[in-house]
């Protein structure tokens, strides 16, 4: 007698929300500008709720990876999947749908100079999602409270310090509750204390809001801090604690060199690596 | 030498191709949703109201100097009372539209190129795209529409102020009777002249603002690049204004007269 096996059927959204679901997939992606090869057969997968941290020398193609995910650039070959949609051949108009579920923190913040902190953070909500004003105000106050800048709501970007600008940029990126956040050098140029504050915001978003993240950085200290710490709820607030080994393995480092990946693994493996280039980079 | 010329030609053709593509995308975005009304109103205010002072001063002094210079020439023929004809015909058909456009190229074209150029080098245009806004719809369409609509309004103001400037000189310097000046102003115009003066600024306004947007959005090379873009926008828009003025005038003479 034939036995039938039944599998639970999931909608695309449910499948992507499931634990272990891939949210960003690069499959043999290559890109060159004229003669200069930027990326060559780069493949990796970002799992829901995890973090990928890209390291590499200047010009190694780290920021290019973020621009490819956002569709600001198209690859020469290879396939890119973001939240279940193939984006490598999408038009600008089609990409708008994918970008609705992505947030990006640019180098230096890229805040709009002519808008206040409130208008910057709420930009996507009132301009693109057309939320009613009271709902926008409530969400903006909520995210500014989350990053500890509620009192700066009416300031202009020129009135903020470098660290505050990065944190407002994080607030702007998270305001529409995207499932994936991309950070381009979020702590570069900041003093160690401010860099730790920005790092804590990234950890909070990952562990308390369940946001998957891709981080591009030169700052090894900040990268290891983000990879090896976790945020836990503590009453009405939260605490940043040392992550256990399982949690630390959810953050993976990827080292880029000459357009390719030369290392991919958790922080412990990176520290223990015998590769001379990695040792030089980490020293 | 040949290689350098080929490279220059290729780069010039690329610029033209990208400009035409921007104009096409702007036209398509102007008639489809989403549309940013608030930005359009801001730009109407910035380009229209913001340029009023410079346009009024330009019109006033141009009309005045025109009356002053033509008064001397007309004296040779004993035709001083006809100074109003010369001022009105020159201002409405040619000087009003062209000088207003050149002033707008200096003030608005350079400002747009600098603003958009700064946004490009500070990654703000990429940030807009990442936040789900199309830079053509958000930045270019409101500016192009505002420039195209406000240039004729500003030209009419410059024409009127110019004729007024001419009246001041005609009455107080050349001692022409005020009534004679005003009747001469109207007599000097063909019925088609106001159309010529009204239609041309639409094209000139479009040229100035679209060139400013094109140059601004193609800025590269940091703050130095922004400075270069600003200069290029003013030069290209000024030459564009004079060239387009010639071709539109030629076309309208064929069609209207």
Could you give the CA distance from residue A221 to residue B169 in angstroms, rounded to a whole number?
75
CB A140 within 8 A of CB A120: no
Look-up of token digits 């003093």:
A191
Average pLDDT by consecutive 10-residue portion of chain B (257 residues)?
87 93 94 91 95 96 94 85 91 95 96 96 94 94 97 96 95 92 88 90 97 96 92 96 95 88
Q: Do A113 and B130 touch (CB under 8 A)?
A: no
Q: Per DSSP, what are the bridge partners of residue B13?
A: none
Query: What does the block give as tokens for A31?
Result: 């890109």
Could you give the CA distance from residue B16 to residue A163 in angstroms, rounded to a whole number?
42
Q: Do B130 and A70 touch (CB under 8 A)?
A: yes
Mean pLDDT, chain A, whole residue set: 88
CB A33 within 8 A of CB A10: no
Q: Do A102 and B130 touch (CB under 8 A)?
A: yes
Q: Per DSSP, what are the bridge partners of residue A234?
A: A237
With bands split at pLDDT 50, 70 and 90, how would you rate the model's confidence at A18? low
In a domain, A267, yes or no: yes
DSSP notation for A185-241: STTTT--HHHHHHHHHHHHHHHHHS--EEEEE-S-HHHHHHHHHEEEEEETTEEEEE
Query: What does the block give as tokens for B1?
Result: 């030498």
pLDDT of residue A8: 58
In a domain, A167, yes or no: no
- Using the predicted structure, report yes or no on whether residue A3 has a pLDDT greater than 60: no
Could you give the CA distance from residue B1 to residue B253 in angstroms, rounded to a whole number?
42
For residue A104, the chain B residues in CB contact (below 8 A) are 127, 130
Q: Do A172 and B122 touch (CB under 8 A)?
A: no
pLDDT of residue A1: 47
CATH of the domain at A250: 3.40.50.300
Look-up of token digits 């310097």:
B173
For residue B126, the chain A residues in CB contact (below 8 A) are 67, 70, 72, 106, 110
Q: What angle do CA A63, A67, A73 make, to 5 degrees?
A: 125
In a domain, A15, yes or no: no
In a domain, A139, yes or no: no
Judged on CB neighbours under 10 Å (0-12, 13-18, 19+), B185 is: buried
**Residue-number span of the structural domain to which A211 is assigned:** 20-101+178-282
Of B124, B132, B134, the CB nearest to A112: B124
In a domain, A208, yes or no: yes
For residues B67 and A2, the model is more confident at B67
Of A72, A92, A124, the CB nearest to B131: A124
Of B34, B127, B133, the CB nearest to A110: B127
In a domain, A155, yes or no: no
Query: What does the block give as tokens for A273?
Result: 């690596």
For residue A112, the chain B residues in CB contact (below 8 A) are 124, 127
For the question of an ipTM over 0.90, the answer is: no
pLDDT of residue B78: 82
Strand A77-82 relative to strand A229-234: parallel, antiparallel, unpaired? Answer: unpaired
- The torsion angles phi and psi of A270, rounded to 5 degrees, stand at -65, -45
pLDDT tens-digit readout, A200-252: 989 988 888 889 999 999 888 999 999 999 998 887 778 888 888 777 778 89
Q: Do B127 and A107 touch (CB under 8 A)?
A: no
In a domain, A130, yes or no: no
- The torsion angles phi and psi of A39, rounded to 5 degrees, stand at -130, 140
Per the structure, the count of domains in chain A is 1
Query: What does the block give as tokens for A242?
Result: 């040392």
Look-up of token digits 């357009």:
A259
Nearest CA in chain B to A98: B132
In a domain, A115, yes or no: no
């Amino acid at each position: 007698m034939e036995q039938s096996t039944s599998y639970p059927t999931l909608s695309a959204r449910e499948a992507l929300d499931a634990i272990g679901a891939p949210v960003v997939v690069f499959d043999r992606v290559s890109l060159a500008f004229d003669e200069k090869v930027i990326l060559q057969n780069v493949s990796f997968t970002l799992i829901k709720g995890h973090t990928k941290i890209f390291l590499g020398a200047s010009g190694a193609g780290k920021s290019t990876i973020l621009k490819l995910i956002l569709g600001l650039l198209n690859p020469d070959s290879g396939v890119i999947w973001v939240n279940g949609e193939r984006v490598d051949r999408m038009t600008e108009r089609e990409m708008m749908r994918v970008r609705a579920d992505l947030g990006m923190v640019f180098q230096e913040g890229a805040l709009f100079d002519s808008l206040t902190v409130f208008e910057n953070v709420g930009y996507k909500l009132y301009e693109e999602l057309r939320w009613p004003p009271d709902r926008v105000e409530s969400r903006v106050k909520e995210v500014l409270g989350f990053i500890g800048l509620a009192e700066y709501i009416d300031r202009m970007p020129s009135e903020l310090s470098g660290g505050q600008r990065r944190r407002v940029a994080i607030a702007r990126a998270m305001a529409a509750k995207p499932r994936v956040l991309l950070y381009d050098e979020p702590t570069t140029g900041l003093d160690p204390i401010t860099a730790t504050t920005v790092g804590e915001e990234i950890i909070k978003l990952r562990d308390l809001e369940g946001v998957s993240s891709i981080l591009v950085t030169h700052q090894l200290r900040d990268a290891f801090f983000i990879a090896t710490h976790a945020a836990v709820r503590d009453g009405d607030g939260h605490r940043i604690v040392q992550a256990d080994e399982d949690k630390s393995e959810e953050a993976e480092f990827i080292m880029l060199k000459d357009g390719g990946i030369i290392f991919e693994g958790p922080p412990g493996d990176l520290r223990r690596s015998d590769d001379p280039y990695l040792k030089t980079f980490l020293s | 030498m040949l290689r350098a010329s080929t490279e220059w030609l290729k780069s010039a053709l690329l610029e033209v191709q990208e400009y035409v593509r921007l104009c096409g995308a702007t036209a398509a975005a102007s008639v489809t949703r989403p549309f940013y009304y608030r930005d359009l109103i801001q730009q109407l205010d910035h380009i229209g109201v913001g340029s009023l002072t410079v346009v009024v001063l330009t019109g006033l002094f141009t009309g005045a100097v025109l009356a002053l210079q033509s008064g001397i020439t007309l004296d040779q023929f004993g035709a001083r009372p006809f100074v109003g004809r010369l001022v009105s015909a020159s201002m409405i058909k040619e000087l009003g539209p062209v000088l207003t456009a050149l002033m707008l190229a200096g003030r608005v074209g350079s400002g747009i190129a600098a603003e958009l150029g700064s946004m490009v080098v500070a990654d703000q245009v990429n940030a807009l795209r990442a936040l789900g806004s199309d830079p053509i719809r958000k930045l270019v369409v409101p500016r192009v529409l505002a420039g195209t609509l406000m240039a004729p309004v500003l030209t009419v103001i410059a024409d009127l102020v110019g004729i007024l400037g001419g009246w001041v000189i005609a009455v107080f310097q050349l001692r022409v009777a005020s009534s004679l000046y005003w009747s001469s102003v109207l007599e000097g115009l063909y019925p088609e002249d106001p159309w010529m003066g009204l239609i041309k600024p639409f094209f000139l306004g479009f040229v100035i603002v679209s060139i400013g947007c094109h140059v601004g959005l193609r800025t590269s090379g940091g703050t130095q690049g922004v400075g270069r873009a600003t200069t290029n926008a003013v030069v290209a828009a000024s030459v564009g204004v004079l060239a387009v003025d010639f071709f539109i005038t030629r076309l309208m003479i064929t069609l209207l007269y």
